[in-house]
Chain A
Amino acid sequence: MDERDLINRVRAGDGIAERALYDAHVDRVYRLAYRLAGDDALAQDFTQETFIRAFERLGTFRGDSALSTWLHAITTTVVLNGLRKVKRFRQREADLEAADGVSGGPRNAEPDLKARLTRAIDALPRGYRTVFVMHDIEGYTHEEIGVALGVETGTSKAQLSRARTKLRESLADFAGEWVT
């Protein structure tokens, strides 16, 4: 079915078309949510909220960009706002634990490369991390990222470059891995 027809049918309240639209896009939305959240339950919540908003607002979709691009813009908004709330909640919990003298114990002094890379990506500033995940891991183009995040293509490129530089600095002691 043509995407325009599908959208028109969803706007007309066709339940089968809604499901078809969901099936066509859910994998990519969920993948992005999971990559950014790093947690299945959160990724499911964000995916659900993305589609609920998309169905509510489909009437405002003008078709200037692809439907997938429009959906990914909603996804990134939902995920980034959601993660901000989660971060505040976790920070409060951490503060309470610190006040109680409870801690998770010392971390491994020298984690392996995979763990180090994960921590280095997690430690990136939010904008850098989002662009890095979308471009280098999920394969979005800078144009798609620009639309999804509401920034210029050049900003996306600059943030990716800075993200890579920061990761390179964080992983400097593993330099042999990529030189060989």
Chain B
Amino acid sequence: MMQQHDDEQFEKWLQRAAQSYHSPVPTPRAAMWQRIEVERARRAARRVVELRPWLRWTLAAAAVLALGIGIGRWTAQHGTVARGGTPVASADTAGNRDVVYQVAATQYLSRTESFLTGFRADLRAGRGDTRFMGQARDLLTTTRLLLDSPVADDPRMRGLLEDLELVLVQISQLPAARNSHDTDLITQGMDQRSVLPKLRSAIPAGPVPVRTQGAT
């Protein structure tokens, strides 16, 4: 009887005292939700690529082909013409490939800069519609292609592409009934990582050599 009473006393005391064990801090709801959305989008994108490798290669091939045609047209207009009127093809295939990637990267960076600048301006003006989400998804596809290309061999470019990937995922995942907090988190993230200044400094001076359909 005495032992049972003692046990009960101990259990009551223990339950009270143990409340201090790993006492939780307030739940960081918004921060965790944001990371959950980004991680889910990342995993979903990875699954699509893993399940459909042909899609990845088709997109890459199509992008390079389109750029190749664009460069061909551009050089046909501005390039060297051999005696007899036949255009001269360059013998430096690797050099051509690098040019294609550089052109693709430059064009992508210009489009993304225009897009993010417009996105921020619209937010400041209290606008912002669902077309941004579609554009962000388009740019996200190109971002991931470039991350897998030789362009991303440059650590600075890779860092920039990864920052842009994160921002574009966030924009593409914005809920239809978003509030200012959702968009504030995106703009704060852009500011903290100086995304726009880094993006602008990565775009070479002068006109973008090739423009394809859908460029904004």
Question: CB within 8 Å of B: which residues of A?
Answer: 15-16, 19, 22-23, 26-27, 30-31, 34-38, 40, 43-44, 47-48, 51-52, 55, 113-114, 117-118, 121, 132-133, 136-137, 164, 167-168, 177-179
Contact = CB atoms under 8 A, between A and B. Distances in A.
A13 B15 CA distance: 42
Contact of B24 (A43, A48, A168): A43
A32 B98 CA distance: 53
Contacts of B177: 16
B32 interface: yes
Given A15-B175, A137-B21, A164-B11, A44 B33 contact: no
A179 B33 contact: no
A48 B36 contact: yes
Given A19-B175, A23-B29, A52-B39, 16 more contacts: A15-B176, A35-B24, A37-B22, A38-B22, A48-B36, A52-B40, A117-B17, A121-B18, A121-B21, A132-B18, A136-B15, A164-B11, A177-B13, A178-B10, A178-B12, A179-B9
Contacts of A36: 22
Nearest to A37: B22
Interface of B: 6, 9-15, 17-22, 24-25, 27-29, 31-33, 35-36, 39-40, 43, 175-177
A16 B177 CA distance: 8
Contact of B13 (A121, A132, A133, A178): A178
16 contacts: A15-B176, A22-B33, A30-B32, A34-B24, A38-B22, A43-B24, A44-B31, A48-B35, A52-B36, A114-B20, A117-B21, A121-B18, A132-B18, A164-B10, A178-B9, A179-B9
A51 B31 CA distance: 14
B18 A48 contact: no
Nearest to B39: A52
Contacts of A132: 18
A171 to B, nearest CB: 8
Given A16-B175, A43-B24, A164-B11, A26 B29 contact: yes
A136 B24 contact: no
Contact of A44 (B6, B13, B17, B28): B28
Contacts of B10: 164, 168, 178
B134 to A, nearest CB: 16
Contacts of A113: 17
A179 B39 contact: no
A41 to B, nearest CB: 10
Given A164-B14, A177-B13, A44 B32 contact: yes
A170 B43 CA distance: 46
A171 B136 CA distance: 59
B19 A137 contact: yes
Closest 3 CB pairs of A and B: A178-B13, A34-B24, A38-B22
Contacts of B21: 35, 117-118, 121, 133, 137
A34 B25 contact: yes
A136 B32 contact: no
A137 B18 contact: yes
A90 B18 CA distance: 25
Contacts of A22: 29, 33, 36
A106 B124 CA distance: 57
A34 B22 contact: yes
